[in-house]
């Protein structure tokens, strides 16, 4: 790669901060960076496009497809309002994650390491790692299902192949950040085209779809469980760490107006990406709801709709809409599964670097995460077949929903804090809205846990002593979960962000501000070849 001829250095590192964690580990390495022009122009938005599409992949991964299929099959269009609510919440929350990185120059995991003591920080790291593994499980199983649909490869064998395929896609790193972002955007559009075509042939009732979008309802005993799974599949905790780090790959003007412009354009870019993800999820539920509630369905197809998973959906679509529909679904599933693994790998890198100040090579990090996801996926697929693998996806989505508060609450507190964000802290209206959204999600989780505990003890075939013991154990776990959330919510922030530009004065800069884009972020994401003199 040719050396950069620009007289301005690509990175401006503080000479007084050589022992900082951002110091380069490898000398004479040239990195791709995207420099935003220091002038007001609507064309600047093209410099910001990219991170939102990488983040949006998590909203259309196989875990989303699995929960969307079951929601459409069991409740037709009745749970579409959950998708609308979750998409709106995702846009607000993801924009806050981007703002945190843009304003402070540090991502969420790094703020957690500085803010919390060693024990809470370690616990938060473990929870974040479990969330990444829980996110990776649906991607592994979904890709295995896609390989089975396209090439008749057994599910368990597809699980093993999936572990190797991601390493191949990670080779895209060497072609630069723009190439990777365009490739991910291409995969997102591929998924969108596949489901939009199927939506056109399924022809769901538009009035019923609109009613499902704007009239909240939870009918049936399993509706709450599916609603939580939909929320868990849409708003993922690892995405908050990922988005706050990806924005650090841009070199923006470090002034008050420059920061405001970056926050505004990242909001627009995230809105575009999440709008595509929202339409895809609505299409999946609408297609499934129209197909599974068709009066011309055969008894065999009706039976498949009772327990629909990713694998059964292909055969269902093949019988109802034709063979081409099954192939389109498989292509979309393969694209979403493989692209999601890339973003999951980067999220794992940022989480480990932020919480522990520890970095691993992307392929090593990906290998470890893949192993943790492949082992349970392989065991379940061998024992329970495609049905067991489908249930594992639902469980993984619920785990993500339960773990969301441990990333969401720190994000809300940090972005609302003037000691960290200065004049760019959340306005009162935004803070109130985000806390209402977060409280709603956490309230649903706690309600489901309490309901599940009471139902299991009441309907379980246990003795009186066993029921009392299980009740005490379950109540203790629920109390611990609630206490942890309250600790994060009511604990006062202690660490501030010492950046002069946060005071609101135009043009003030310090060396820490100039150390953007972050060298370590770019190195983890896009390592390049050595420059030659």
pLDDT confidence tier of residue 250, bands split at 50, 70 and 90: confident
Among 185-194, 228-237, 294-303, the range with the most confident prediction by mean pLDDT is 185-194
Residue 205: helix, strand or coil by DSSP? Answer: coil
Candidate CATH numbers 1.20.1740.10, 3.40.50.720, 3.40.50.2300, 1.10.1740.10; the one for domain 41-293+300-437 = 1.20.1740.10
The count of other CB atoms within 10 Å of the CB of residue 223 is 17
Residues 397-408: tens digit of each pLDDT: 778 878 888 999
Among 150-159, 266-275, 446-455, 471-480, the range with the most confident prediction by mean pLDDT is 266-275
Share of the chain above pLDDT 70, in %: 78
Least confident interval from 325-329, 464-468, 498-502, 515-519 = 498-502
Least confident interval from 155-164, 224-233, 277-286, 404-413 = 224-233
Please state, in angstroms and rounded to a whole number, the distance separating the CA atoms of residues 413 and 490.
9
The residue ranges of every structural domain in the chain are 41-293+300-437
Query: Is residue 273 within 8 Å of residue 188, measured between CB atoms?
Result: yes
Residue 124: pLDDT above 80?
yes
pLDDT at 366: 63
Crossing angle between the packed helical segments 177-202 and 256-292, to the nearest 10 degrees: 30
Residues 6+ apart with CB under 8 A from 492: none
DSSP code per residue over 217-260: ---STTHHHHHHHHHHHHS-HHHHHHHHHHGGGEE---SHHHHH
Give the H or E element holding residue 101. helix 80-104
Residues 497-528: tens digit of each pLDDT: 645 444 444 444 444 444 555 655 555 544 33
Which comes out higher in pLDDT, residue 122 or 15? 122
Per-chain mean pLDDT for the chain: 77
């Amino acid at each position: 790669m040719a050396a950069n001829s620009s007289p301005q250095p690509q990175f401006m590192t503080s000479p007084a901060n050589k022992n900082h964690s951002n110091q380069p580990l490898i000398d004479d390495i040239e990195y791709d960076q995207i420099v935003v022009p220091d002038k007001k122009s609507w064309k600047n938005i093209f410099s910001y496009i990219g991170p939102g599409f990488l983040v949006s992949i998590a909203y259309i991964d196989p875990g989303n497809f699995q929960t969307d299929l079951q929601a459409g099959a069991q409740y037709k269009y009745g749970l579409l309002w959950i998708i609308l609510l979750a998409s709106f919440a995702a846009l607000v929350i993801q924009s806050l994650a981007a703002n945190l990185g843009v304003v402070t120059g540090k991502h969420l995991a790094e703020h957690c390491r500085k803010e919390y003591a060693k024990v809470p920080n370690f616990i938060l790291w473990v929870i974040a790692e479990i969330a990444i593994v829980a996110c990776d499980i649906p991607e592994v199983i979904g890709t295995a299902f896609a390989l089975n649909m396209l090439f008749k490869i057994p599910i368990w064998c597809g699980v093993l192949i999936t572990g190797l395929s991601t390493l191949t896609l990670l080779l895209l790193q060497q072609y630069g950040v723009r190439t990777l972002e365009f490739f991910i955007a291409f995969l997102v559009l591929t998924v969108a085209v596949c489901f939009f075509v199927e939506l056109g042939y399924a022809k769901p009732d538009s009035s019923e779809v609109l009613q499902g979008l704007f009239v909240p309802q939870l009918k049936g005993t399993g509706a709450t469980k599916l609603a939580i799974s939909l929320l868990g599949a849409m708003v993922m905790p690892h995405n908050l760490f990922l988005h706050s780090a990806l924005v650090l790959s841009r070199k923006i003007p470090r002034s008050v107006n420059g920061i405001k412009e970056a926050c505004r354009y990242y909001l627009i870019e995230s809105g575009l990406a999440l709008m595509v993800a929202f339409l895809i999820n609505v299409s999946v539920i609408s297609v499934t709801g129209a197909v599974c509630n068709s009066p011309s369905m055969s008894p065999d197809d009706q039976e498949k709709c009772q327990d629909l998973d990713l694998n059964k959906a292909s055969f269902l679509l093949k019988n109802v809409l034709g063979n081409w529909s099954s192939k389109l679904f498989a292509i979309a599933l393969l694209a979403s599964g493989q692209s999601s693994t890339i973003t999951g790998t980067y999220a794992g890198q940022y989480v480990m670097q932020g919480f522990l100040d520890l970095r691993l090579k992307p392929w090593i990090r990906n290998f470890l995460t893949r192993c943790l996801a492949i082992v349970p996926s392989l065991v379940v697929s061998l024992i329970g077949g495609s049905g067991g693998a489908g249930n594992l996806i639902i469980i993984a989505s619920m785990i993500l929903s339960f773990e969301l508060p441990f990333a969401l609450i720190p994000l809300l507190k940090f972005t609302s804090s003037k000691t960290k964000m200065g004049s760019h802290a959340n306005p009162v209206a935004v803070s109130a809205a985000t806390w209402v959204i977060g409280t709603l999600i956490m309230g649903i989780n706690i309600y489901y846990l309490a309901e599940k505990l009471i139902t299991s003890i009441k309907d379980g075939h246990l003795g009186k002593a066993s029921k009392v013991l299980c009740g005490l154990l379950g109540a203790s776990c629920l109390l611990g979960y609630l206490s942890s959330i309250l600790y994060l919510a009511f604990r006062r922030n202690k660490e501030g962000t010492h950046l002069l530009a946060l005071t609101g004065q135009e043009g003030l800069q310090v060396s820490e501000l100039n150390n953007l884009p972050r060298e370590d972020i770019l190195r983890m994401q896009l390592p390049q070849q050595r420059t030659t003199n």
